[in-house]
Amino acid sequence: MSRICQITGKKVMVGNNVSHSKRRTKRRFYPNLMNKKFYFEEEDRWITLRVTASGVRTINKKGLKVALKDAKDKGYIAKY
């Protein structure tokens, strides 16, 4: 399973570790992903999503139905 948020689309970023002597080596920045279950009232069922912390806040702000619709329109999830 890839490390991509199903609501916001956040994914792994690449950057540099910079030492005291300014020597640079490649590193990866991982999103704060977690598997979370949400209750989808319109269909009376539970949905498990792999979301970041900001994705959870987005669901709390917009609501689950609107957040899923936006994610599907942007191509982050195929179906739910």
For residue range 39-67, list pLDDT tens digits in order. Answer: 999 999 999 999 999 999 999 999 999 99
Domain boundaries, the chain: 13-74
**Distance from C-alpha of 60 to C-alpha of 57, rounded to nearest angstrom:** 5
Residue 1 clears pLDDT 80, i.e. is over it? no
Whether domain 13-74 has CATH 3.40.50.300: no
pLDDT at residue 79 greater than cutoff 90: no
Say yes or no to pLDDT of 80 above 90: no
Question: Rounded to whole angstroms, how far apart are CA atoms 51 and 10?
Answer: 9
Q: CB under 8 Å to 26, separation ≥6 — which residues?
A: 14, 15, 16, 17
The pTM assigned to this predicted structure is: 0.87
Question: Cβ distance 5 to 76 under 8 Å?
Answer: yes
